[in-house]
Amino acid sequence: MPVQWIAGGTLFANSYIFNDVLIDAGVTPMAIQPYKDTISTIVLTHCHFDHTAHVKEIAHMCRADVAIHKLDAPGLLDDARNLSMHFGSRSPAIVPEIMVKEGDVIGGLCVLHTPGHTPGSICLFAEPEQVLISGDTVFTDGGFGRYDFIGGSRTELARSIDRLSLLDVEGLFPGHGVPVESGGSGHIASARQLLKSGYG
């Protein structure tokens, strides 16, 4: 698969590299350093601190632009919205160069606006490769993102997962947990069923 997985560990989210795009920046700059000359854009799937903790340093190191959905951009400056205080830290305090929207294409990845975990949560889909980078919308264990933080919505999350269930996905690369290179649609279907069952 054309996706490079950089594991986030216990507290911080996974990052991924697809072509010249880095997706999410919770991992340390040291983890990204080997790829710094290939990255031109950092796309944040949402504003939560575990996905954005090191975006400022990584953007500087890579000389990369930062992109996020406009509804989550204010969260990069707001400790309450980005949950940085849960990590004993402060917001990354960065203003993004790019505000993405539904249907934008960056580095071969199509932006899908999938609110629910946050208002501006996005997934990134490469249709030819059947690859979905799903942030905290849906996970490979059949789970889904929390909706009890500021701006979260169970109704919106259910709609977003319904939408993802219509895609033909092989590789599913979530914000947390271990990605899979085949059978991604089955994991999304499991999350959809779990949410519809009333779980959570």
Task: Give, to the nearest 10 degrees, the angle between helix 184-196 and helix 154-164.
Answer: 150
Residue 43, SS3 per DSSP: strand
Spatial separation of the C-alpha atoms in residues 8 and 79, rounded to whole Å: 21
List the end-to-end C-alpha distance of the chain, in Å, as a whole number. Answer: 32
pLDDT of residue 24: 98
pLDDT higher than threshold 60 for residue 152: yes
Res 95 pLDDT > 90: yes
Distance, CA of 129 to CA of 118 (rounded, Å) = 27
Q: How many domains, in total, are found in the chain?
A: 1
CATH of the domain at 106: 3.60.15.10
Are the C-beta atoms of residues 65 and 55 closer than 8 Å to each other?
no
Residue 200 — very low, low, confident or very high, per pLDDT cuts 50/70/90? low
pLDDT on residue 199: 76
Q: Give the percent of the chain with pLDDT over 70.
A: 99
Domain that holds residue 72: 3-196
What proportion of the chain, given as a percentage, has pLDDT over 90? Answer: 91
Q: What is the pLDDT of residue 107?
A: 96
pLDDT at 11 over 90: no
Which residues 6+ apart lie within 8 Å of 194 measured at CB? 142, 143, 144, 200
